[in-house]
Each structure stands twice: as C-alpha cells, then as structure tokens.
Structure 1
Amino acid sequence: MLNTLAVANYRSINKLVIPLGRLNLITGPNGSGKSNLYRALRLLAETAQGGVVNALAREGGLDSTFWAGPETLSRRMRSGEVAIQSTVRQSVKRLRLGFAGEDFSYSISLGLPEPSQSCFSLDPQIKRECIWAGPVFRPASLLVDRNGPMVRARARAERTWEVLAQHTPDFDSLFDQVGSLRGSPEVLQMREFIRRWRFYDHFRSDADAPVRQPQLGTRTPVLHHDGRDLAAALQTIIEIGDPEALQAAISDAFPGARLHIAPLAGGRFAIEFYQEGLLRPLSAAELSDGTLRYLLLVAALLTPRPPTLMVLNEPETSLHPDLLPALARLIIRASQQCQVWVVSHARRLISALQEDPDCNCIVLEKTLGQTGIVGQRVLDEPAWHWPD
C-alpha cells in the first residue's frame, strides 16, 4: 500500500507530505483543499494510464494549476508584519507528485514547455520521473531514472546504467514507453500497481441514468466508475463473492430488506429490492437516490477483486444521515482487503469511521492560501526528498 503521498506546487498545495495508513479519512472545512488533494491523487493515477498531460491541459495548463503564492513565505509574511509578496524564485518552476510504497516509490516532475512553434501551449512537459527502492529517495536507491527524453535503468549484474529509451516524447510518461519483465520489471510492477487504483466520485442517479434501466449482464467483478453495471456487479458478488456480506450490508441499512437480481430476456439483468411491508419488489427505476447510491457503494466496496487503492470522494452525497453508520462499517470492512481513502465532511460518517483504531484521520486547513495538515509540525512529516 501507499505509505506516503507528496505533492508540491499544485493549486492550493505548496508543499504537502502526508502519512498514509490502511484506512485514510481526509476532512476539513470547505475550501481547505480536500478537492485539490483528491485531484492530485487522480493526476498520479493518470501517469500509468497515459493521461497526465491531457488532464493538466484540461485544467488550463500548468500556469492555471501551479501554486499561485510565493515560492516561500518569510517569517514576517507569516506573522503579518509585511504583506504577502512575490519573491525571486530560487528553483525552476515544477509541479511535483510522488508517493512511497512498501517496496518501490515513484515521483514525477512537470514543467513549462520550451518556447516553440507548436500550438499545444497548454501541454506541460514531463521533465523527470524516478522509481527507487524503499520509502526515501537516495541516489544509491534509484532504480529507474527518466531525465528529459532519456530513460535508463540500473543494471544489477554490472551495477551500471542501461539506457532503455533515448527519445521519449516529453508528453509521454515512462510507463508508456518502457516496462518489461526482462529489462525493467520495476516499471512493469509500478505501472500495474497504479492501474489497479479505483476512484468513485460520481454515481448518476437521475431518472435517465443507465443504472436505473435493465442492462446487459456479464460477470462484473469491478463496478464501473459511473455505476452503469450495478445489477451485474451485485450478481457477481452473489455468485463468486461474499453473498452473506452483501445481505448483511443491506440489512444493516434497511432492516428487513433483501435484494434479488432478476434475469430478463436478451441477457439483461434487473434489480428487485424487497422492503418490509411492501407486496412487490421495487425496481431500480423506483428506488430513491439515496437507496440507489447505497447499493452502488455496496457493490464497489464488496468487489470480489479488491484494488490496491480505493478512493471514495464524498460518498455521503444523497445518503440520509441514518445510513452513514452502516456505510462506515462497510468501508471499515473493505479496508481489511485493500487500502481505502475517503474524502468527506459528513460529521456522522467521520465519527463512525474514527471508531476504527486504524483510521488515519487527516484534517486539512488553509493558512495564507496554503493547504496544510492541522497539528502537523516539521518533525511530524514523513521523510521525503524530491530527486534533484
């Protein structure tokens, strides 16, 4: 799992190094930077999908996403003796993202493009990427180094460097160019590790949402990020997952309720939700937004194929407060199978998650426009060094 997340110069985050555990709860007041931290994690995930440059371009390019404050805040600025003002930049302008894992760690540095005749002015350039062994970067622990267009890997037998690629485009990650069991197994392992991250931040539940209509059913161990294949995902849990846990999660939230997936003509599946006191089951089209979203979260969290990291962004949306303790118990159960990251400002969900002694609660605050962690002092930060 991830032990440390590091972000520098992204929106309201000037510099942030976060310790992570098995269950991570990110909270804080509105405007404290929760969404920016979530977006930074999504950008990291895009590196292994080939979309990090496109994602930044859609946000307006590096100039729009780069930290807007001064490079450093002096003591007099912090105390209010003088106004916040720009300073002479001592280092090159770089947006940096990285994490430390149990075996390998990774970082990426993006910068402004060189002046050219290209029309793609919003595309940042990938300047540096590194994979190293252990949680803290040291030159001796560096295994794969991408510097500009060149990617090289450490050859173990001769303890020298082997060039893997010499003309890597500045808009492509090293994950797009190299990675094999023979030449660079670290790249292959890191790429697959990141690709197994899952993000759930928006489930459509409007009247025209695909989840409310019967859908073609195929085995679905992983729920689609928008929930369109909910019926198939629930049936997959019933057949090859943990049907007892599924029924327990439904009964926990809706006492006396039960779920059935009905096969229809043409291979389609439909949800039948039985509630105590009703003479017939309710279809997905009839369920309330909150009930439907709860079923979607159940399907995501009880997946028969757990990811390396599951991220839930404000899962309390549309849920009645009485459902939040049941959701918290479901999240805690899922955290025994994979690392979980929850972004929330719902007090009842936060309180229920904090009952787990392993819950790593990170409360964000914003001071002078800069996102930080409440109570984190310099010596509390995990050890982290960016490659030069």
Structure 2
Amino acid sequence: MLSTVAVHGYRSLRDIVLPLSRLTVVTGANGTGKSSVYRALRLLADCGRGEVIGALAREGGLQSALWAGTGTKKRTVELKLGYSADDFGYLVDLGLPQMAGINSLFGRDPEIKREVVFAGPVLRSSSTLVRRAGPLAQACDESGRGFIDLTRGLPTHRSVLAEFAHPGELPELAAVRDRLRAWRFYDGFRVDADAPARRAHVGTRTPVLAEDGHNLAAAIQTIIEAGFEDLQRAVADAFDGASVATAVSDGLFDVELRAPGVLRPLRGAELSDGTLRFLLWAAALLSPQPPSLMVLNEPETSLHPDLVRPLSTLIRAAAEVTQVCVVTHSAALLGHLGADATHIELTKDAGATQMVGQGLLNAPSWHWGSR
C-alpha cells in the first residue's frame, strides 16, 4: 500500500508531500490543486508504462506544466514525482535537455535526469536499490555496499523501469513497474446519446472496466458471474429495488435494468444519464481484478444527491480490496466516507498548493536527494 506521494514543481504543486491510507479523500475549493494531484498521479503511472514524456508533451510540454509561481529562485528546470510504499519507493526527476542535437526540433522535450528505486519509506543511500543519473544506470551489488553498472548509455527519454525491469534479475524494478502500470484512473464517464456505454458491444469476460466505459455490459456480467453480491445490493439501494443484468443478442452485450413497476427491462440506450453513470461507477469499483491503486476524480458529478450514499458504499467496498484515492467537491460524499477515510483538504498560499493542517512536525518524511 502507498503511504506517501510527493510532487515538486508541477503546476501549483510547488513542493507537497501527501499521506495516503487505504481510503484517501482529497477535497478543497476550486483552483486549490485537486486536479493537479490527480494529474500528478497519472504522470507517475505513465512512468511505469514508459509514456511520461508523451504525457507531458500532450499537456503542452514541460514548460507549461512547471510551477510558475512567485517566491522562488529556482536555477534549474525540474519536475519531480515520487511515492513510497510498504515495500519499495520510486522517484523521477525530469528536466530539459542541455543539448537535443544539432538542428533538432525536440529541444523542448523533457528528459529523465534521475530515477531512484529504494526500500522503505524514505530515500537513503543505504536503502537505494537502483539509481539512474542521465545515461548511467546502476543497481546495488550483492554485498549491499556498492553499485554495478547496468548501462552507461540509457537514452534520456527512456525510463530505467522500461529497460531493466526483469523479474529474474531486478525484481524490485519489476515490482515498481508493475505496480505503476496497474494503477487505474476514472475521470467521469460520457453518458450522452452517443456515449460508448449506451451501445451494445461484442462481449468477452471483462474484469476491468475501460476508462470510457465501452465494455460496461461485459464488465457487469463478469461481476455477476464472479458472485459479487455488492453490485445487486448497490443497484437495489440506489434505484428502489431494481436489479441489473446483461442481455445478449447475436454475441452483442447490452445492459438491462429491471425496475419494480416497469413492464420491461430498460436497455443502455434508454437509461437516464444519472442511472447510467452510477452503473459505470459500480462496474469500475467492483472489479473482480482490483488494482493496487484506484483514483477517482469527482465521481459524484451529475449524480442525484440521493445516489451519493450508495456511491459511498461502493467506494468503501472497493477500499476493502484495494487502495482508493477520491478527489471530490462533495461534502456529502466526504461525510459518508469520513469515518473510514484519511481526509486531505487542499488550500493555496501565494499560489502554491498546501495541505490544511500540515506542518513540519506532522508532514510525512520525504527526501528527494540531488542530481
């Protein structure tokens, strides 16, 4: 389980270290940095997939993603992301290339300056397992007192996680890479008339709901066949005794909602926006193949207030089998989750995001090291 997430120099996250628990709820007013926390976690996940350079490019490049506030005398361009968990921790330091190449058009592409995989909650020299500085990558030797070279020519746009995470040789790298790749993110769902979730689709066993929800019916059927009773309880609680099923026609799967007093089941194309969105969240949260971390961005959006309590029940059920982080505006959702959750409230001071109530004495321990 992740215990700490640290971000330095990303948008309004000038330098922040956040504690995480089994269930963490991040709140705050508009513009305080909630979305930046969500995006920073996605960038960390992209490191495991070897896609962080492209992800930053889609945000407008490193310069547009950097902290741009006042009150800093920063001499170097740096964006740093990291986490610690109950086994291994990881940090990455990104910057601009000193020399991209003669006449190169990629001079603004970020490059990986440094990566470290370490054991325990805080980076120390004695706990470092793998380290990378520019093109040089090294792993701790068998004695634990020195390092051996993995390569002196690692391209600065390639992560050490992508190049050397072999379970038989460097299992700690493989563990970090696989953890990051398994993280799952849900940032709302389309429910308009042309939404993918409203269309019938070819169905196969589907333990993981897609981010756009196009495989909703197959995901629901997989949950049903796995024997997860939480799904039907949540649907009955949310919609006055209704139940959900899957209809199949010529191999195409579609959602069916059967409600008391309605003479026929309602298909995906007929469901109200709120009903469809709730079913999408239910399918995401009750996955028979839970990830190590699931991050939800404003799941209460466009739901009727009466659905917030059943939604919180689903989130608590998910938190029993995986780590869940919820970013929300909803005081009602926080109230339903509060007793079981770590509450992180964000605010801003001189443009920088801070955690309310966090000071030097109660902030999680974190050390970035140096380039």
Decide: shared fold, TM above 0.5: yes
Q: Distance in 1 between matches of 2:195 and 2:108?
A: 33
Q: Determine the structure 2 residue equivalent to 1:384.
A: 366
Q: Determine the structure 2 residue equivalent to 1:250.
A: 235
Q: Distance in 2 between matches of 1:70 and 1:93?
A: 15
Q: Determine the structure 2 residue equivalent to 1:300.
A: 284
Between 1-10 and 267-276, report the one with greater CA deviation. Answer: 267-276
Q: Determine the structure 1 residue equivalent to 2:57.
A: 57
Matching of residues 1-388 of structure 1 within 5 Å:
1-70=1-70, 72=72, 87=73, 89=74, 92-115=76-99, 116=101, 117-157=103-143, 159-242=145-228, 244-265=229-250, 267-354=251-338, 356=339, 358-388=340-370
Work out whether residues 256 and 275 of structure 1, in 8 Å CA contact, stay in contact via their aligned partners in 2: yes
Gapped regions of structure 2 (runs ≥ 5)? none
Work out whether residues 241 and 304 of structure 1, in 8 Å CA contact, stay in contact via their aligned partners in 2: no
Query: 1:165, CA displacement in angstroms?
Result: 2.1
Query: 1:176, CA displacement in angstroms?
Result: 1.5
Work out whether residues 13 and 370 of structure 1, in 8 Å CA contact, stay in contact via their aligned partners in 2: yes
Alpha-carbon deviations, 1:192-249, whole Å to 9, x = none? 111110000031111111211111000000111111000000000111241x211101
Between 165-174 and 230-239, report the one with greater CA deviation. Answer: 165-174
Secondary structure at the residue paired with 2:49? coil
Alpha-carbon deviations, 1:260-308, whole Å to 9, x = none? 211111x111111111211111110010111001001110111111110
Work out whether residues 162 and 177 of structure 2, in 8 Å CA contact, stay in contact via their aligned partners in 1: no
Gapped regions of structure 1 (runs ≥ 5)? 73-86
Work out whether residues 241 and 303 of structure 1, in 8 Å CA contact, stay in contact via their aligned partners in 2: no
Give the TM-score normalised by structure 1.
Answer: 0.92
Alpha-carbon deviations, 1:154-173, whole Å to 9, x = none? 12247432212221111111
Q: Distance in 1 between matches of 2:274 and 2:178?
A: 34
Between 180-189 and 23-32, report the one with greater CA deviation. Answer: 180-189
Alpha-carbon deviations, 1:310-362, whole Å to 9, x = none? 011010112101100110111011101000000000121111111x3x30010
Q: Distance in 2 between matches of 1:23 and 1:158?
A: 35
Q: Distance in 2 between matches of 1:183 and 1:160?
A: 17
Work out whether residues 207 and 287 of structure 2, in 8 Å CA contact, stay in contact via their aligned partners in 1: yes
Query: 1:187, CA displacement in angstroms?
Result: 0.6
Work out whether residues 141 and 148 of structure 2, in 8 Å CA contact, stay in contact via their aligned partners in 1: yes
Secondary structure at the residue paired with 1:285? helix
Q: Distance in 2 between matches of 1:158 and 1:130?
A: 15
Query: 1:71, CA displacement in angstroms?
Result: 5.5
Aligned pair in 2 of structure 1 residues 241, 171: CA closer, same or farther (>3 Å)? farther
Work out whether residues 165 and 178 of structure 1, in 8 Å CA contact, stay in contact via their aligned partners in 2: no
Secondary structure at the residue paired with 2:361? helix
Q: Determine the structure 2 residue equivalent to 1:84.
A: none
Aligned pair in 2 of structure 1 residues 205, 387: CA closer, same or farther (>3 Å)? same
Aligned pair in 2 of structure 1 residues 172, 71: CA closer, same or farther (>3 Å)? farther
Deviant stretches of 4+, over 6 Å: none
Q: Distance in 2 between matches of 1:372 and 1:241?
A: 43
Whichever residue aligns with residue 19 of structure 2, its letter is P
Q: Distance in 2 between matches of 1:346 and 1:181?
A: 42
Whichever residue aligns with residue 272 of structure 1, its letter is E
Work out whether residues 130 and 387 of structure 1, in 8 Å CA contact, stay in contact via their aligned partners in 2: no
Work out whether residues 196 and 212 of structure 2, in 8 Å CA contact, stay in contact via their aligned partners in 1: no
The alignment-based identity, stated in percent, is: 51
